[in-house]
Amino acid sequence: MTAAIEIKNLQKSYDDTVALRGIDLTIKPGEFYGLLGPNGAGKTTTIGIITGLVKLQSGSVSVFGKDIIKDYRFTRSKIGVSPQEFTSDWFFSIEKLLIFQAGYYGIPKKVAQPRVNKVMKKLGLYEKRDDKIRFLSGGMKRRFMIAKSLVNDPDILILDEPTGVLTPQETERLFEILESMREQGVTIILITHKLQEIMAITNNVSVMRAGAMVAHRETAQTTREELAELMVGRQVLLRVEKTPAQPGDVVLRTENLTKIDDAGVTRLDHVSFELRAGEIVGVAGVTGNGQSELLEVLSGIQAPDYGNWTIHNRVVDQDHPSNPEEIRELNLAHVPEDRQRMGIISKFAARETAILGYHHDPTYTGPVLLKTDAIVADTEGKMDRFDIRPPNPRLTSDSFSGGNQQKLVLAREIERRPDILLIGQPTRGVDIGAIEFIHQQLVQMR
């Protein structure tokens, strides 16, 4: 039987960074394949090469027996991909963008429309088809990204971290869709850090580490513990070790905090709570229910419309709004939930992202110019302490994997030793080794 995907001795370097060191992988048609690996293992690069987004340097890839370079039209038409990061921050509607996507595959509009309708219905997007992408909640955006990967009716579907922002119900629904696609013969590759998802729905799993394939397993023959160890290269604690909290004084208090968005929708509705020193307060909820607005109000990005909140005796309300700079000076640090949009600046060097917001600090700047040497040294220290790879402060921020970008943002905020840390989705898209590390950091700060 011809393999759905056959990869032989794939190698790839970006300047000095070796991303892939000779990868072999065979995926049979109709398989539900899991691809695991810590951040920076080379998963995205591998997928990029398969789909033609990343240039192949050495080795070969064939899709249903056809070479991805020689027969790229054929091979690309067979594959649908839903990448990890959202790419469409545009003003277009769901429907319009899906039609565009079909156009990319050369599918004429007449043929595309019924197909797009079908896909939108499948993912529960049909009612929202006229909504602009940039205003969608995280979960809806993710569904859109999945819909986008389905418009060409692919025989191979590749999903990179599809469930990061989905609710358990949305995840279950997605898995049902995937299961039915597999029954129709579609080959599915799932990249995720969520081991329980790998265990629940894949048949086979491969583990990558540092640009190499380190193991192949039949899912039924392995365990979460074994996979975690294969990924990280050592035993990993799958739960957080901590002593009971000993909460101290109240350091932040909100009273009837209310926020109404531009469309007139009440996003925060009289939210009151207290936060004490030495405790971690979790806010749970389906995305789109005000968590983002809560973070934006408390970090000074938006003013409340009603109610107030207090930090170190500074009362913030509609008439006395604040701003992120003042809030930072009050020793509140913020790790935003959307690191791509608010945590980093993609095209800035890592050393610049590592000081964003604190760049006026005399450690980093003289009267006119930034102190580049000091910033580089500082970033190198952060990269060492947070195990950020590759440890090169000069690379642009977007050349790091999602998990490493997240660690860069965390290092920036945590190392200021804030009194209060606001943190949205601390471990989204982050591998288990890094999750363990982040949890330990947070418990230690507590």
> CA 52, 53, 59, 63 torsion: positive or negative?
negative
What does the buried/exposed string (b/e) look like for 239-268 if buried means 16 or more CB atoms within 10 Å of the residue's CB? eeeeeeeebeeebbbbbebbbeeeeeeebb
332, with CB counted inside 10 A (0-12, 13-18, 19+), is buried
**Count of residues making up the chain:** 446
Per CB under 6 A, the list member of 10, 34, 42, 251 interacting with ligand ADP is 42
Task: Determine the interface stretch with ligand ADP among 2-10, 32-40, 243-251, 274-282 (rule: CB under 6 A).
Answer: 32-40
Per CB under 6 A, the list member of 25, 31, 34, 39 interacting with ligand ADP is 39
Residues between 252 and 311 that touch ligand ADP (CB under 6 A): none
Nearer to ligand ADP, 372 or 399 (CB): 399
Task: Determine the interface stretch with ligand ADP among 38-46, 268-276, 281-289, 374-382 (rule: CB under 6 A).
Answer: 38-46
Nearer to ligand ADP, 390 or 426 (CB): 390
How many whole angstroms separate alpha carbon 155 and alpha carbon 93?
26
How many whole angstroms separate alpha carbon 198 and alpha carbon 210?
20
Phi, psi (degrees; rounded to nearest 5) at 401: -70, 165
In the bound complex, what is the minimum distance in angstroms from residue 22's beta carbon to ligand ADP?
14
Nearer to ligand ADP, 42 or 154 (CB): 42
| Kind and range of the H or E run holding 238 | none
Q: Is 40 in the site for ligand ADP (CB under 6 A)?
A: yes
Q: Is 91 in the site for ligand ADP (CB under 6 A)?
A: no
Task: Determine the interface stretch with ligand ADP among 33-41, 173-181, 224-232, 343-351 (rule: CB under 6 A).
Answer: 33-41
Q: Say how many residues touch ligand ADP, by CB under 6 A.
A: 16
In the bound complex, what is the minimum distance in angstroms from residue 290's beta carbon to ligand ADP?
31
Q: Nearest to residue 238, comparing CAs of 40, 39, 433? A: 433
Per CB under 6 A, the list member of 4, 27, 31, 37 interacting with ligand ADP is 37
Nearer to ligand ADP, 39 or 62 (CB): 39
Nearer to ligand ADP, 38 or 138 (CB): 38
Q: No. of H helices and E strands in the chain?
A: 14, 16
Instruction: Specify whether the backbone of 285 is left (phi greater than 0), alpha (psi in -120 to 50) or beta.
Output: left
Residues between 43 and 72 that touch ligand ADP (CB under 6 A): 43-45
Nearer to ligand ADP, 330 or 434 (CB): 434
Residues between 162 and 201 that touch ligand ADP (CB under 6 A): none
* Greatest Cα-to-Cα distance within the chain, rounded to the nearest angstrom: 71
Nearer to ligand ADP, 40 or 426 (CB): 40
Residues between 352 and 411 that touch ligand ADP (CB under 6 A): 389-390, 399-401
Q: Nearest to residue 298, comparing CAs of 266, 261, 345, 330? A: 330
Nearer to ligand ADP, 42 or 290 (CB): 42
Going by their DSSP bridges, the two strands 420-423 and 332-335 should be labelled as parallel
Going by their DSSP bridges, the two strands 314-317 and 306-311 should be labelled as antiparallel
Provide the binding-site residues for ligand ADP, judged by CB under 6 A.
14, 17, 19, 37, 39-45, 389-390, 399-401
